[in-house]
Amino acid sequence: MAISRDQVLHVAKLARLDLRDDEVERLTEELGAILDAVSKVAELDLADVPPTSHPLALVNSWADDEPHASLPLEDVFANAPAREGDLFRVPPTA
Least distance (Å) between residue 81 CB and another protein: 4
Q: Which residues contact 90 (CB under 8 A, 6 or more apart)?
A: 82
Residues that bind another protein (CB under 8 A): 3, 7-8, 11-12, 14-20, 23, 27, 30-31, 33-35, 37-42, 44, 46, 49-56, 58, 61, 63, 71, 75-76, 78-82, 88, 90-94
Least distance (Å) between residue 31 CB and another protein: 6
Task: Check if the beta carbon of residue 89 is closer than 8 Å to that of residue 83.
Answer: yes
Least distance (Å) between residue 88 CB and another protein: 5
Burial of 66 (0-12, 13-18, 19+ CB in 10 A): exposed
